[in-house]
Amino acid sequence: GNFVPPIRNNGGSTSNMTSRVIGKNDDSMGDSTRKCLEMLCGPDGELPEKLRNLEPRLIEHVSNEIMDKDPNVRWDDIAGLEHAKKCVTEMVIWPLLRPDIFRGCRSPGRGLLLFGPPGTGKTMIGKAIAGEAKATFFYISASSLTSKWIGEGEKLVRALFGVACCRQPAVIFVDEIDSLLSQRKSDGEHESSRRLKTQFLIEMEGFDSGNDQILLIGTSCVKKMKISSVICINEQQTDLKNWMKQHGGDLQNVYIFPFLHQARAWIIRNLLEKDGLFKLTEEETNIVCKLTEGYSGSDMKNLVKDASMGPLREALQQGVGITKLNKEDMRPVMLKDFETALQEVRPSVSSSELGTYEEWNRQFGSLA
Ligand code: ADP
């Protein structure tokens, strides 16, 4: 009774793989899974080729957890990074919006590598690319593929590219892609990570940059490398570069700079203004910016959060309970709140690490 015929079942009732037609009475599939698959079916009611013979639960996972139809980030939400925005607009947004113009000599690369310290806006850039190009955004971290999806990573990658193919234009964002690709072919290399890497290569080969509108964005956080060893960094880069070259398209590197003074000021103003709490003078804002040299975007966000607690803590010290506190009685956020917050929130990237990024950029980056 448990015999499963070795021939694909197009009705899909006994196999736990997807087939051409989604079986209406397939009990092995929950309602939400069936709904998800139905939404991916073409006008003929059939599941696209790319999605056949995959496990429905993986397609569902990609659709619900990895895919973001409306990433909701625009260029204006991103402080600074003017050079990166300009490069990325020309390299990838225009081609996604006007594939008819970006052919032949102008044909774009298929991949983009954003590198720079953590918390500086790489993920935001990825989302903004999708937002500006009206593309579907898929986010996956390479480390989750190797840790959470042990043994299933390559199946998930297949499902990921399959769904992306049906949701074009699409941006596939692989955070810390270097950790996936740099693993060298050696005896010690884990069999499953080798298979994972191969699956990525197969998928990359499988889409045709002339017709498919899928962009792969990888991020690289060189911090994880032995930062004292430039040779090690070079090897990593060569690995990535070869990989992209072999698989159609130049690797385009965009260095995401650590934060400049104006960008830090922008974040302070922007975050506080949203809550009507910004009352610092220009001079005070400048003082905070001088004190936050080397802070990344996410460090600044944490600093503003901490500073915005200052007025609340002060009001509570006067004996009013949190439930009785009148919001209007709280004072705005002041310079002293930032000074206190600065004791708590330290920059996450050290200046010596920043030096390594800059060195890397000089050798390989968009401003080299
Ligand atoms: P990365 O991908 O480089 O590690 P993220 O893009 O995930 O960094 O940034 C983390 C958070 O820090 C963002 O959600 C945002 O709140 C803040 N942030 C980082 N960079 C910027 C920026 N350039 N402009 C505005 N906010 C930023």
Specify whether the CB–CB gap between 269 and 324 falls below 8 A: no
Mutate-to-test residue for ligand 1 from 75, 120, 268, highest number of ligand atoms within 8 A of CB: 120
Q: What are phi and psi of 97, to 5 degrees?
A: -80, -35
Query: H or E element: which one contains 239?
Result: helix 230-246
Question: Ligand 1 in contact with 258 (CB < 6 A)?
Answer: no
Return the exposure string of 288-315: e unless at least 16 CB atoms fall within 10 Å of the residue's CB, then b: bbeebebbbbbbbbbbbebbbebbbeeb
Return the exposure string of 147-181: e unless at least 16 CB atoms fall within 10 Å of the residue's CB, then b: eebeebbbbbbbbbbbbbbbbbbbbbbbbbbbbbb
What's the CA-to-centroid distance between 210 and ligand 1, angstroms? Answer: 32
Q: List own/partner pairs for 28-33 with CB under 8 A and 24 or more apart.
A: 29/56, 32/60, 33/57, 33/59, 33/60
pLDDT at 306: 93
Q: Which residues pair with 170 in a beta bridge?
A: 136, 214
Cα–Cα dist 141/148, whole Å: 10
Specify whether the CB–CB gap between 59 and 30 falls below 8 A: no
Question: Ligand 1 in contact with 122 (CB < 6 A)?
Answer: yes
Specify whether the CB–CB gap between 325 and 316 falls below 8 A: yes
Q: What is the pLDDT along the chain (368 residues), one digit of tens a residue?
A: 566 555 554 444 445 777 666 665 566 677 788 888 888 887 887 888 888 888 888 888 888 888 887 788 888 898 888 888 888 888 888 888 888 888 777 777 667 778 778 888 889 998 998 898 888 999 998 888 877 777 788 888 989 998 998 888 888 998 888 777 655 545 445 666 777 777 877 777 666 655 678 888 888 765 544 333 333 333 444 555 555 555 444 556 666 766 678 889 999 999 988 887 788 899 999 999 999 988 888 999 999 999 999 999 998 888 888 888 888 888 899 999 999 999 999 988 777 777 777 776 676 666 54
pLDDT at 233: 36
Question: Ligand 1 in contact with 123 (CB < 6 A)?
Answer: yes
pTM for the complete prediction?
A: 0.75
What's the CA-to-centroid distance between 121 and ligand 1, angstroms? Answer: 4
Return the exposure string of 84-112: e unless at least 16 CB atoms fall within 10 Å of the residue's CB, then b: bbebbbebbbbbbbebeebeeeeebbbbb
pLDDT tens per residue, range 155-184: 889 899 989 988 888 889 988 887 776 555
Residue 189 gets the label, from left (phi > 0), alpha (psi -120 to 50) or beta, of beta
Mutate-to-test residue for ligand 1 from 73, 124, 177, highest number of ligand atoms within 8 A of CB: 124
- Residue 319's CB is within 10 A of a number of other CB atoms, namely 7
Question: Ligand 1 in contact with 99 (CB < 6 A)?
Answer: no
Q: Which two tokens stand for residue 66?
A: 């990895």
Specify whether the CB–CB gap between 85 and 75 falls below 8 A: yes
Cα–Cα dist 203/332, whole Å: 53
